[in-house]
Each structure stands twice: as C-alpha cells, then as structure tokens.
Amino acid sequence: SQDRPTETPLDVAEPDVVEPVAAVADVVAPTVVQLETATGVGSGVIYDPDGLVLTAAHVVEGSTQVDVRLADGSVLPGEVLGADTDSDIGVVAVDPEGRELAVAVLADEVPDVGDLAVAVGSPFALDQTVTAGIVSALDRPAPPGGPTVGTLQTDAPINPGNSGGPLANRNGEVIGIASYIQSQTGGNIGLGFAVPVDIAERVADA
C-alpha cells in the first residue's frame, strides 16, 4: 500500500534517546498484536493502515479466522489472507472499524551483525513482552523445521508465542519477523531466527 509509513520512528542522534530499548519498545509495541487460533497463540505486527498484519505462517496455518488482540486489549476478528510455509510468512486482515491503527515502519536496509535487535510479542501468551539482544548473524539457514529462506539470527530472547512478532532495530524499524528457535529444552537459549523483512514484505504482497 502507498499509505504505509516510511519515516524512521526514532532519531538515534536525539540526546533524549538514552534508553534505546525502551525507546524502540515505545514505538513498536503499539503495532504488535496477539493472534489466537484454535490451536494456540502467536504474534503479529500491523504493517498497513488498512488493517494488514504480518505474522508467521505456522501461527495461522490451518486457520481461516483468528482473534486479533490489539495493544490496547481490544479484540478484532481477523481473516487469514494467506500463508507461505517456505518463507513462514502469513498475512491476516482486520477491519479497523473506523479506528486509526498504529502501523509499523519496515526497514529498507539490511542490518549489520552486532546491531541492536528488539523483539516484541506474546511468549507463552504473555502479550506485549519486550526482549532485546543483537543481530547474531545474517543469511543463516534455519534449523530443520524452520523457514527455507536465509534468516536473521538473534540472541534476543524468543520463545513459543513470539512467532510472527517483529524484530526491530534501534531506529524502531522492523527488520524481521520472528519465526523459529533452536532449543534442546523448548525455551530460549539465545538462538532465534527471524525472516528478513524484505522477504516478508515481498511474500506478503504476493
């Protein structure tokens, strides 16, 4: 959509941005939603003012309708428009019902290894949870069972329920969609994988 925001949410040169993770969370969290399906809970991020939500395909796979909990706690019905299992990207549509939705800004530059990475989502159904780390590697093959595209590896804590939520840079721009973790315990051990936002956007538009 031509109406998607493009202006960087944060200016890191501003002297008042002294807590970068808090500043990122402040602008990203309002765009993050919790998705509830018949089989579980995942996350998503509003990327278009018309009510389009980016998420992970495995969150909505097998569903046609989901409940979408906005950051303010209100719940809207969502329609699953599509899901691509190879890239693990799905799209859900909600009717804004006349309200102005908070919309995330998608990054147009590839991050560097070592850049700040802030994840927002619903690990274990705890909505609006913020975690932070760095970009650990670029174009990393995900473990078996994950997306087949090259991913952003991060040590920002990601747990079940984070899937579909955004990974953001210090400018408050979305750099990836949380997809998969590698773990021997089922919980975070610092190996999370996100689909790069350029791939996610391209798949979503298709």
Per the DSSP assignment, residues forming a β-bridge with 94 are 78
Tokens 């409940």, located at residue: 67
* CA angle centred on 43, ends 168 and 114, rounded to 5°: 25
- Identify the three-state secondary structure at position 83: strand
With b for 16 or more beta-carbon neighbours within 10 A and e for fewer, the 139-175 pattern comes to ebebeeebbebbbbbbbbbbbbbbbbbbbbbbbbbbb
Q: Output the CA torsion sign for 129, 181, 140, 87.
A: negative
Determine contact, residues 45/14, Cβ cutoff 8 Å: no
Which of 53, 36, 35, 57 has the alpha carbon at shortest distance from 92? 53
- Identify the three-state secondary structure at position 181: strand
Catalytic residues: 58, 88, 163
